[in-house]
Chains A and B, each alone.
Chain A
């Protein structure tokens, strides 16, 4: 049975539909990331669960109890905010202790629990420091310990890493996952960073325009995006527009043999989705392009460590390919290359409307 349920949640702000019928069911101890661009409604959903805002329609159920109209201080939700949420007048220890004091726990109990939690987040030595004496990463660790102190029913994380440096971000997200698994706490995590979401979650829900576009395991989301938006948002994807022809897809006059196209009505507008790492690149050698091969020139090379990303442009051709860095050395900018798309393992989605623009996070 689901432990946390969001049932048909609607929330409007004026004419803007921040949430347009959200349905989520999350088992106890599971980690769900709400992923999407800014303005997609993910934070609104989290705030409804926390109780800081009320839905116009729908219910929030935790462990079988409807908490939709319960005030936030009675919900037992542990929340970690983006930043600056520690009480500046209290030390790290006092911050963690705050929720326990409110719950009227006795002093000895509080003391041991706070020490335990500070140890858990790796800050046993920094309990007497004030927030302004802690780095951004340390502050978020304290905030996590503070949220966990009250033994919340659900842990809510609202982009807790977005204000941190890249390195600290990776380190801390792994730690959040470790602690979550250790305590077995049901967790709702809001982020706009797909790498973050994919790396720590049991489930990922991609949101757009107040709706859930797709929800599934990270692997499913990556390998089988259900909508053009999800395909665009998760990972890097080549999107080739075309129309279905017999046994394949016509892309700018070039027929691509694609298994997934079979069974689709001829003439249907589709989007062929190809991951850059599945594109094989070889020097063109003047030979005519054959099969699923698109010919173009390498216009940029982006070094990504073990692989190098090539942008290949030609007449009606615009693809990116990730090739081993060693291979890329033999394909300098300006080289005419043949980019071979795989015939299977490629996804096709019907293109009903133009793709939404994905806005950059601030």
Chain B
């Protein structure tokens, strides 16, 4: 490697690593004395009930959002590519709206809109918040999946499958889905990352998700907040890794999509 390339790599690595290392050193200081080095902050986090509770809520919310989004968007985008390609630009435009509308505006709108709905929906994260997160994940889902669908010949594969006797559901699950697996995984990662870090909507709708807990600790406990930050960082990465492993389990060899000849 050329020396200049190495230098740039070093600078880039430093940009990401220095804050992590600094946070790590900070998290080793005692909450009582402010001196190094102790793991008591980590122990405090791990033994905190709020940590586990909020982590559980956010993880399940992420999972729910991913499942609902995939179930909603995969067939829709498949259908658009197959039958109404003229609608694609319209949907792409709609998908940009969650980017453009500030979360604060969106949450106020949603809260007003859903006011008066049953408690099992309105007062539970699994209802209202999941609904809001599906909207928030829409752009990421759409653009990832759309790229996936564009990388395969949806028409020919569908027609080939049909002529062999398959119903459209069989075609979707046996032929189309395995070939857009990479795109579906990417969409799921992004959704996971969004849900694990989303603060504004959860805060205004008064749900105790993981980011709310981090914020709470951050305000009240200096050194444990460092430990919590690193732990949340690790947890998010572990979640993405597990998603990757689950997704790869069956299709590692088949992930390569034959390119144009």
Q: CB within 8 Å of B: which residues of A? A: 50-52, 71-79, 81-90, 98-99, 102-103, 130-132, 136, 143, 146-147, 149-150, 156, 163
* B253: nearest chain-A partner, CB-CB: A130
B163 pairs with A79, CB closer than 8 A: yes
What CA separation (Å) do A68 and B159 show in the bound complex?
A: 17
Q: CB within 8 Å of A: which residues of B? A: 152-153, 156-157, 159-167, 170, 174-175, 178-179, 251, 253-254, 256-261
User: What are 22 sample pairs from A and B whose C-beta atoms fall under 8 A apart?
Assistant: A50-B159, A52-B159, A72-B162, A73-B164, A73-B165, A84-B258, A87-B157, A87-B160, A87-B174, A87-B179, A88-B258, A90-B254, A98-B174, A99-B165, A102-B165, A102-B166, A102-B170, A103-B165, A132-B257, A132-B258, A147-B163, A163-B261
A73 pairs with B175, CB closer than 8 A: no
A72 pairs with B159, CB closer than 8 A: yes
B254 pairs with A98, CB closer than 8 A: no
The smallest beta-carbon distance between B108 and chain A, in angstroms, is: 45
The smallest beta-carbon distance between A140 and chain B, in angstroms, is: 11
Q: How many cross-chain pairs have Cβ atoms below 8 Å apart between A and B? A: 90
The smallest beta-carbon distance between B259 and chain A, in angstroms, is: 7
* A87: nearest chain-B partner, CB-CB: B175
The smallest beta-carbon distance between B85 and chain A, in angstroms, is: 15
B170 pairs with A88, CB closer than 8 A: no
Chain B residues near A84 (CB-CB < 8 A): 153, 156, 258, 260-261
The smallest beta-carbon distance between A14 and chain B, in angstroms, is: 14
* B175: nearest chain-A partner, CB-CB: A87
B251 pairs with A89, CB closer than 8 A: yes
A73 pairs with B163, CB closer than 8 A: yes
| Most chain B CB within a 10 A radius of its CB, from A73, A88, A103 | A88
Chain B residues near A136 (CB-CB < 8 A): 261
What CA separation (Å) do A41 and B220 show in the bound complex?
A: 75
Chain A residues near B179 (CB-CB < 8 A): 87-89
What CA separation (Å) do A90 and B257 show in the bound complex?
A: 11
* B168: nearest chain-A partner, CB-CB: A73
15 new A-B contacts, CB < 8 A, other than A51-B162, A132-B256, are: A50-B163, A72-B159, A73-B162, A73-B163, A83-B261, A85-B156, A86-B160, A87-B179, A89-B254, A90-B254, A98-B166, A99-B165, A102-B165, A102-B170, A132-B258
Chain B residues near A89 (CB-CB < 8 A): 175, 178-179, 251, 254
Residue in A71, A76, A81, A99 whose beta carbon sits within 8 Å of that of B156 in the complex: A81
* B153: nearest chain-A partner, CB-CB: A84
Residue in B152, B157, B164, B257 whose beta carbon sits within 8 Å of that of A150 in the complex: B164
The smallest beta-carbon distance between B174 and chain A, in angstroms, is: 8
B163 pairs with A78, CB closer than 8 A: yes
Chain B residues near A76 (CB-CB < 8 A): 165
Given A88-B179, A89-B178, are A79 and B159 neighbors across the interface (CB < 8 Å)? yes
A74 pairs with B258, CB closer than 8 A: no
Chain A residues near B160 (CB-CB < 8 A): 79, 81, 85-87, 143, 146
Chain B residues near A88 (CB-CB < 8 A): 152, 179, 254, 256-258
| Most chain B CB within a 10 A radius of its CB, from A79, A87, A150 | A87
What CA separation (Å) do A88 and B175 show in the bound complex?
A: 8
A73 pairs with B254, CB closer than 8 A: no
Chain B residues near A146 (CB-CB < 8 A): 160, 164
* A104: nearest chain-B partner, CB-CB: B165
Residue in B159, B161, B163 whose beta carbon sits within 8 Å of that of A87 in the complex: B161
